[in-house]
Amino acid sequence: MQEKQRLLTPGAIYFWATVLFLYLPILLLVLFSLNDSVLLAFPLKGLTLHWYQELLEAGEMLQAAQNSLVVGVISSLIATAIGTMAAIAVTRLNFPGRDVFLSIAAVPMITPSIVLGVALLILFRQTINLPLSLGLITLSHVVISIPTTMLIVMARLAGFSKNLEEAAMDLGANYWVTLWRVILPLSLPALIAAFLTAFTASFDEYAMTTLITGTDVTLPVYLYSLLRFPRRLPVALSMGSVIIVASAILIVVAEWLRRVDFRGGAKEETA
Amino acid sequence: MKKLSPTAYLFPIVMVAAVLTGCSAGAGDATGATEPLLVLEWTGYQMTEFPQFFQPFTDKYGDNLDQVIEYSFFGDDAEALTKMQTGFEADLVHPCNSWWQLYVNAGLLQPIDTSRLEYWDGIPDELKQLGQFNGEQYIVPWDWGYDSLLVRADLVPEMPDSWADLWDPQYARHIAIWDSAEQGYVITALALGLDPWNTTPEEDEMIKQKLLDLKPNVLTYWLDFTEVYNLSSSGDAWIVANAWQDAYGYLLDEGYDVEYLDPAEGRLSWVCGYGINANSTNLDLAYEFLNAAIAPESMAALGNEYLYGFSNFDAIPLVDENVAKLLNFTDLDTFFANTVFYQPLTEEKRQAMSDIWTEVKAAQ
Amino acid sequence: MSAEADVVRRPSGPDSEPTPRKRVRLNEQLRTTGQVGVMIAPTTLWLFFLLVLPLIMMTLLSFRSGSFTAEDSAFTLSNYQRFLQDASFQRLMLRSLWVALLVALYSVVLAYPLAYYLAFRAKRRQNLLLTLLIIPAWTSFLLRVLAWRIILGSDGMLNSLLLLLGLTQETLPILLYSPTAVIVTLVYIWIPFAALPIYVNLQRIDLGLLEGAADLGATPIQAFMRITLPLSMPGIIAALLFVFIPTVGEYVTPALVGGPSGQLIGNIIWDQFARALNWPMGSVLSLMMLVLVLLPLLLTSRLVRLSGLLEG
C-alpha cells in the first residue's frame, strides 16, 4: 500500500472527529466533577477538588468499585477460559449437536439483560433458596460473556487453518500439548481481547445485576442508587473520572506489554 | 526467538485476582458473638455515613459499627418488597406507607413491642395509626415528606393552584410528573374529585382516560430526585409534580424563584418507617436501632440534613427554623387537616393502579 | 494471518502417501472427539444451569396469574390474552424494533469509516487507536447518558452553542425527552462497539486482492464497491445484529432521556418486574420480545451464515 499524506486524509479527519465526539460527554463529566455546585448545569460555579476529597472518604463507593473489579476479573477469566475451550471445540472438531450448542451459546446475546436478571432471580430465590451474593453475580456475569468470548476466539481461530495443529500432532504431540503450545499462543491476542470485552461488559453491567444484588453492591448499582440524592452526584462524577483515567492507563500499558512480547508475531497484527 | 508462553500472562493475572479476592473477603468478615443487624434500606440513610441519624446507636457502638450493622440497599419500594418476598432475610426493612399493608398481608413483619421504645410517645397518634394493622403496630413511622407541585414562579404564565391545573394546555410540554403508578393515579383521582382509595371500575376508567389526556402536557416522567432539581433549575419544566419539599428548599437556597404549592385538593404526604422481619431473632439490636432512630436528636439531624419530615414531634424544637417552616411545623393544628396521607394499598388496588399506568405509558 | 493458510506441509517420502496419513488422522479424530466433551462441558453446564433453566422457569411463570402466593400458581393464559388484545403493547413492541433498527443502521454507517481507517490506514498504531475508541466504553454507561442529558437540555451545551452561533433564536427543549434523544444517545454509546466487528472483518481482507484490482485498472472507489464492501458484509451484518439485539430491550436510556413518547418495550417490561410486580406479565412480554428478535436473526443467518463470518 502506498503511503498517503500523513495526517489530513478524510479518513483521519473523520476518525479524530468521531473520537472527539465520543470523548466530549466524558470531558463534560470531568468538568462537572470539578464544578463547585450540585447542579449539573451551565454556567459553572467555580473549580474545586472538593468532590475528589469526598471520594477518598466515600467508603461505600470505593467498596462498590472494588467489588466490581473483583467480579469483573474473575467472571471474565472464567468466561474467557471456558469460552475459548468451547470455541476450539466448535471450530476444530465436528461433533453432533454442534449447531444446537452454538445456538444456545448465542442466547445470552439475544436476551435482554433484564430478562436474564429476573430469570436468574427466580432460579436463585424461588427454585433453590440461595442467598444473593457477589459470588452469584460473578457466576451470572460469566453467562453474559460466553457468546462474546466464543465469538472473538472463533473468529481468530478461523483465521489460521488446522494444518499447524495437525503438523504438531504428526510430530508426536498429543492434543493437550498441541492446545497449550500451538493453539493458545496463536490465539492469545483474541484471548486478551475476549477478556477485556468480558471485563468491560461486567464492570458496567447494571440491568441484570441490580435484580440479583444482595448485601454487597457493584459500582453501577451503587451509582444508580445515588441518583436519588443529587448532593452525591458530583462525587459519582469524580469516581467516573477516576475510572476513565485508570482504564486509559491500564489499556495503554497492556497495549505496550503486548507489543513488547509479540515481536515474533507482530506480522499477524497489522494489516 | 522465544516468545513468552501463555503462562507468563496467566500468572500475574491470577495473582492479582487472588489478592483482590482476598481483600474483599477480608473486608466482609464479621466477627463478634452476635450477628450483625441486617437492614434493608434506601441509600442515603446508612449510619456508616450518617451517624447523626441514629445518634444513640452510633454513640454506643462507635468504631465497631461494621460488626454490628449491615446494609442491603434498594432504590424502589417494589424492589424491597420483591426481595423480602423472595426470602431475603433482612432484620429491618424501611418501606413507605402505601406498601405497609402488603408487607403485613404477606406475613413478612412481626408486631412491634412499643413498650420497648423509649421515645414512642413523641410520635403523634395520626402517624402511629398509619402503621397499625389488625390492631397491632407493625411499623415505626420515621421519615415523611410532602408531595406537591414545585413551580417556577418566574416562568409560568399563570400560577397554578390545584392538581387539576396540570391539565391546562398553557403548560403544554412544560410539566414533569413522577414515573409512578401510584402517584399518577392519586393526583388524577384528586383532580377529578374522586377518592383515590375508593373507586369503582368506571371511575378507574375515567382516571385512565384522564391520564392519557395528560400526556401531551408532559415533558417527561422523572425517575429520581436529581431530575427534579435539574428539570426545575433548567426551566425545562415549569411545574414538577410530586416533588418533595427538599427540592424546594435546595432550589430556594440556590436562588431560584420557586414556589411550593398547597393545591386546592390538598398536599399529599408520604410516610416511611421501619418494620421488623417476622423471622428475625436479632431483636435486642433491632429495638436499639429503632430507639436510636426516633430519638429526638436523631430526628432533628434528619430534618436538618435532608429537609425531611420526621415522626417524633418532640424533636421540633431542635431543628433549624427554616426547616420547621418548610415542613409546616410552625402550624401543627392545620398540619394534619390539610395533608392527604397516602393510604396503604391492597394487592388488587396496587395491580389496578399498575395496569392503568402501564397502559398509559405504552400508549402513543 | 492468511500466511498460515498457505502453509501446507507436504512431507516427502513414505509419509506422503494418503492412506496411512488418513488413518492416523482418523484415529486422532476419534480420540479427540472423546475429548470434545471436556472442552465444551464447562460451557454447557454454565449455559444449562444459568441460562436454560432460568428461562424455563420464567416461561412457566408466564402462565401464572401471580408471582408469590400459592393460589397464583394456577395455569392461566390471561397474560397472553392481555398482550394480544392490547394494541398499545403491540404497537410499542413494533416501535421498539424500529428504533433499534435505526440505532443499528446509524451506528454501523457512522462506524464503518472508523473501522476502515483503522484497518487500512492506521498501520502500526491500529491497536492503540482501537483502544482509544474503546476507553469511553469503560466509563459508566449511566454517567454517559446523564452527560447527554446535560448536553441536550434546554440550558445545555448544544442549545447554548446554537444560540451563540445565532442558529436559533430561542432554546429548543424538544431535543431532550424525545425518541430522537434516545436514538442519538444510543448511537453515541454504540459506535465503538459497532466498529469492532467491521474492523475485525476488514482486517482479514487480503490486501493482495486490492492490489490486484488496482493493477487491473480499477479506481479506488471501484475497488471498494466491488471488493472491500462485499467482503465486509459479514462484519456489517454482525455489527448490525450486535447493536440491534440489545437495543430492542433497552430501558435505561429511554427512561432517562426518552420522555413520554420515547418509551420502549423494555421500560414496560422493567416496570412489570421492578414496579408493578406483575412478573407473569413481564415474562410474557419478554418472551414475545425474544420471539420477535429471533425472527430477523434467523432471516439474516440464512442470508449470511455465521460460519461465513468465520471463514472470512
For B335-360, the pLDDT digits (tens) are: 777 788 899 898 889 989 999 999 99
C-alpha cell at B138: 407493625
Going by C-alpha positions, the residue among C55, C191, C280 that lies closest to residue A121 is: C55
* Mean pLDDT on C67-96: 82
CA distances from B235 to A76, B164, B232, C255 (A): 44, 21, 5, 20
Same domain, B252 and B354: yes
Question: By CA distance, what is A179's nearest residue in B?
Answer: B6
Mean pLDDT of chain A: 80
**Residue for cell digits 414538577?**
B240
Q: Are B339 and B269 in contact (CB under 8 A)?
A: yes
- Please report the residues numbered 281 through 310 in chain B whose beta carbons come closer than 8 angstroms to any beta carbon of chain A: none
Same domain, B230 and B349: yes
C181–chain B Cβ distance below 8 A for any pair = no
Residue C154 to residue B235, Cβ atoms within 8 A: yes
The reported pLDDT for the residue numbered B103 is: 94
Residue B24 confidence (pLDDT) above 70: no
Does B250 lie in the same domain as B191? yes
Numbers of helices and strands, H then E, in chain A: 12, 0
DSSP for C225-241 reads IIIIHHHTHHHHHHHHH
Q: Say if C31 is an interface residue toward chain A (CB within 8 Å).
A: yes
Q: What is the pLDDT of residue C22?
A: 52
Answer yes or no: do B187 and B165 share one domain. yes
| Tally of domains within chain B | 2
pLDDT of residue C19: 46
Per-chain mean pLDDT for chain C: 78
The HSE-up count of residue B306 (CA atoms within 13 Å, CB side) is 22
Most confident of A184-198, B119-133, C278-292: B119-133
Q: How far apart are CA A169 and CA A167, in angstroms?
A: 5
SS3 C137: helix
Please say if the pLDDT value at position C13 is more than 60: no
Same domain, B237 and B308: no
For the stretch B259-270, pLDDT in tens is 999 888 888 999
Instruction: Enumerate neighbours of B (3 or more CB pairs within 8 A).
Output: A, C
- Kindly determine whether residue A262 and residue B88, on different chains, have CB atoms separated by under 8 Å: no
Residue C311, CA distances (Å) to A154, A192, B324 in order: 10, 21, 73
Between B81, B82, B236, which is nearest C153 by CB?
A: B236
CATH architecture assigned to A59-220: Orthogonal Bundle (1.10)
Cβ neighbours, 10 Å, residue C98: 13
Q: Quick one: average pLDDT of B307-319? A: 90
Q: Which of residues 292-311 of C touch A (CB under 8 A)?
A: 293-294, 297, 306, 309-311
Sequence-distant (6+) residues with CB within 8 A of A6 are none
Contact call for residues C125 and A269 (beta carbons, < 8 A): no
- B119 occurs within a structural domain: yes
Average pLDDT over residues B61-88: 84
Question: B44 to chain A: nearest residue by CA?
Answer: A229
Residue-wise pLDDT for A234-256, tens only, equals 888 888 888 888 877 877 777 67
For residues B281-288, average pLDDT: 92
pLDDT bucket at A49, cuts 50 / 70 / 90: confident
Closest C-alpha to B39, from B28, B31, B48, B26 = B48
Which of C30, C17, C28 lies closest to A170 in space, CA to CA?
C28
Is the CB of residue B6 less than 8 Å away from at least one CB of chain A? yes
pLDDT number for residue C69: 62
Q: Which residues pair with B152 in a beta bridge?
A: B258
Q: Is residue B159 domain-shared with residue B134, that is, in the same domain?
A: no
Residue B73, in any domain of the structure: yes
Q: What is the pLDDT of residues B182-214, one digit of tens each?
A: 999 999 999 999 999 999 999 999 999 999 999
CB neighbours of A10 closer than 8 A, spacing ≥ 6?
Answer: none
Residue position matching grid coordinates 487453518? A161
CA distance linking residue B238 with residue B175, whole number of Å: 6
* Whether C154 contacts chain B with CB within 8 A: yes
pLDDT digits (tens, 9 = 90+) for B204-245: 999 999 999 999 899 988 887 777 888 898 888 899 998 998
CA-based max dimension of chain C: 86
The pLDDT of residue B314 is above 70:
yes
Query: According to the model, what pLDDT value does residue C104 have?
Result: 96
Phi first, then psi: what are they for A170, rounded to 5°?
-60, -35
Kindly state whether residue B260 falls inside one of the protein's structural domains. yes
Q: What is the mean pLDDT of residues C44-66?
A: 90
**Averaged over C237-252, what is the pLDDT?**
87
- Residue B56: the pLDDT is 92
Residue with cell 485476582: B17
Q: Are residues B258 and B160 in the same domain?
A: yes
pLDDT at C156: 63
Inter-chain touch B362–C173, beta carbons under 8 Å: no
Between C86 and A2, whose confidence is greater? C86
Peptide linkage before A43 cis (omega within 30 of 0): yes
Q: What pLDDT, on a 0 to 100 scale, did the predictor assign at position C171?
A: 57
B12 in A contact zone (CB under 8 Å): no
Q: Which CATH number is B42's domain given?
A: 3.40.190.10
User: Looking at residues B8-26, what average pLDDT do you find?
Assistant: 41
Rounded CA-CA distance A260/B63 in Å is 49
Report pLDDT for B82. Answer: 81
Q: Sorting pLDDT into bands at 50, 70 and 90, what band is A229?
A: low
Burial of B56 from C-beta contacts in 10 A (0-12 / 13-18 / 19+): middle
Q: Which residue has the higher pLDDT, B30 or A138?
A: A138
Q: CA–CA separation, C39 vs B9, rounded Å?
A: 21
Mean of pLDDT values over A192-199: 86
Q: Check residue C68 and give its pLDDT.
A: 65
B267 in contact with chain C, both atoms CB, cutoff 8 A: no
The per-residue pLDDT for C218 is 81
Please indicate, yes or no, whether residues B209 and B349 belong to a single structural domain of this protein. yes
Could you tell me the three cell numbers for B228? 427534579
User: Cβ of B64 under 8 Å from any chain C Cβ?
Assistant: no
Q: Give pLDDT, residue A69.
A: 94
Most confident of B270-284, C13-27, C246-260: B270-284
Q: Which long-range contacts (CB under 8 A, 24 or more apart) does C153-159 make?
A: C153/A41, C153/B230, C153/B234, C153/B236, C154/B234, C154/B235, C154/B236, C155/A41, C155/A42, C155/B234, C155/B235, C155/B236, C156/A41, C156/A42, C156/B234, C157/A28, C157/A42
Let me know if residue B52 belongs to a domain.
yes
Q: Is residue B225 in some structural domain? A: yes
pLDDT tens digits along A137-174: 999 999 999 998 998 888 788 777 777 777 777 777 77
Assigned domain for B32 exists? no
State pLDDT tens for residues C104-123.
999 999 999 999 988 888 77
Size of interface A-C (CB pairs under 8 A): 271
Which uninterrupted H or E stretch holds C295?
helix C279-303
Q: Say if strands B136-137 and B218-222 run parallel, antiparallel, or are unpaired.
A: unpaired
Q: How confident is the model over B156-178, as a mean pLDDT?
A: 92
**Is B79 in contact with C274 (Cβ distance < 8 A)?**
yes
Write out chain C residues lying below 8 Å of A244, CB-based: 135-136, 138-139
SS3 label, residue B151: strand
Cell numbers at B101, concatenated = 399493608
Identify any residues that bridge with B146 across adjacent strands, giving them in sequence order: B269
Residues of C within 8 A of B350 (CB-CB) are 277
Rounded to an integer, the average pLDDT of A100-115 is: 82
Q: Are residues B226 and B121 in the same domain?
A: no
What average pLDDT does the structure give for chain B?
Answer: 85
Assess whether B254 and B354 both reside in one domain. yes
Domain range for B205 is: 145-268+345-362
Give me the pLDDT at residue C170, please: 60
Residue B12 — very low, low, confident or very high, per pLDDT cuts 50/70/90?
very low
Nearest to C260 among B180, B221, B236 (CB): B221
Residue ranges of B 153-192 with Cβ closer than 8 A to chain A: none
Closest of B245, B247, B266 to residue B337, by C-alpha: B266
How confident is residue C309, by pLDDT bands cut at 50, 70 and 90?
Answer: very low
Region C80-86: mean pLDDT is: 88
pLDDT for A174: 73
Least confident of A37-46, B319-328, C191-200, C282-291: A37-46
Q: What is the pLDDT of residue A99?
A: 82
pLDDT at C199 over 80: yes
Domains annotated on chain C, with CATH: 86-311 (1.10.3720.10)
Min distance A93 CA to chain C CA atoms (Å): 7
Query: Is B279's Cβ below 8 Å from some Cβ in A?
Result: no
For every residue of B297-361, DSSP letters joined together read HHHHHHHHHH--EES-GGGGGGS-HHHHHHTTGGGHHHHHHHEEEPPP--HHHHHHHHHHHHHHH
Judge if B130 and B275 occupy the same domain. Answer: yes
Alpha helices by DSSP H, listed for chain B, are: 6-28, 55-61, 65-68, 77-85, 100-105, 125-130, 181-191, 201-214, 225-234, 245-253, 283-294, 296-306, 321-326, 332-338, 347-362
Tell me whether B224 touches chain C (CB under 8 Å). no
Residue C310 pLDDT exceeds 50:
no
Whether B25 is in a domain gets the answer no
Contacts with A251 from chain C: Cβ below 8 Å: 131, 134-135
Place of cell 389526556: B213
d(CA B227, CA C186): 20
Same domain assignment for residues B196 and B130? no
Classified as helix, coil or strand, B268 is strand
- B220–C260 C-beta distance less than 8 A: yes
pLDDT tops 70 at residue B13: no
Question: Is B163 within the bounds of a domain?
Answer: yes
Average pLDDT, integer, range A189-214: 85
Quick check: C286 contacting A, CB < 8 Å?
Answer: yes
Q: What are the sequence ranges of the domains in chain A?
A: 59-220, 227-260
